[in-house]
Amino acid sequence: MMFSPQLLVGLLNLPSLALASPHASPQSIPDDQRYCHVPASCSHGGDDAPRILAAIKKCNNGGTVVLDKVYRIASPLDLTFLQHIDIVITGEIHFADEDVYYWAENSFKYKFQNQSVFWKLGGEDVNIYGDLGNDKSVIDGHGQAYWEEIRTNKSLFRPMLFAFDGMHGAVMSNLRMRNPPHWFNIIANSSDILISNIHLNATGRNS
């Protein structure tokens, strides 16, 4: 079974949304030399969310967070406090799919069409970008488990990868988004968002 890649973006109270050219660059240059490289978990089945949160808090307000490993995310992240920060994703982010009901219970909920998300991102002057020159820069929701479960449970919450919520002045570019359990993302209560050069793919296997 094939799912056509679509940019399914919910818009809630969004004053402006611009789709930039593939050559869009970050809006600002960090004002200091703080670089926070996030190590990946050494244990099988670990959760890298706490490491990512710690790095973002350390490099918030002028620094750069570098995600260049393969990360497993097994808990939600509320990142609505971002200020003047670059987040560089040249590795891979994978959301754990062993327990779809954990995410149904613990993902962030939105009343708009009864949606939920793994991550919430908000704040001011935020640049999130990758490098499509390699086969990395991936955010993967591992939606197959949800697509199978929803056959017998039509009310299952299936999270989107992330929400921009309360974000004002942000650039996102040069990333690969794969297999979201539901839509790819949602934008709410935000302004001046620039999104460009995003590769979207959702492919399901027959079972």
Q: Domains in the chain, start-ordered, CATH in brackets?
A: 40-202 (2.160.20.10)
User: What is the distance between the alpha carbons of residues 84 and 203, in angstroms, rounded to a whole number?
Assistant: 35
Nearest to 163 by CA among 144, 141, 186: 186
Looking up tokens 């593939």 gives: 22
With vertex at residue 73, the alpha carbon angle to CA 71 and CA 75, rounded to the nearest 5 degrees, is 155
User: What is the distance between the alpha carbons of residues 23 and 21, in angstroms, rounded to a whole number?
Assistant: 5
- Per-residue confidence of the chain (207 residues) as pLDDT tens digits? 333 333 334 433 333 333 333 334 444 444 557 899 999 987 778 999 999 999 999 999 999 999 999 999 999 999 999 999 999 999 999 999 999 999 999 999 988 777 899 999 999 999 999 999 989 999 999 999 999 998 999 888 899 999 999 999 999 999 999 999 999 999 999 999 999 999 999 998 865
Q: For the chain, how far is it from start to end, CA to CA, in angstroms?
A: 9
Total Cβ atoms within 10 A of residue 139: 27
Look at the alpha carbons of 183, 185, 190, 192 in this order and tell me if their dihedral is positive or negative: negative
Whole-number pLDDT of residue 41: 84
Whole-number pLDDT of residue 33: 75
Predicted structure pTM score: 0.83
* 3-state SS assignment for residue 174: strand
- The strand pairing partners of 9, in sequence order, are 185
* 3-state SS assignment for residue 102: helix
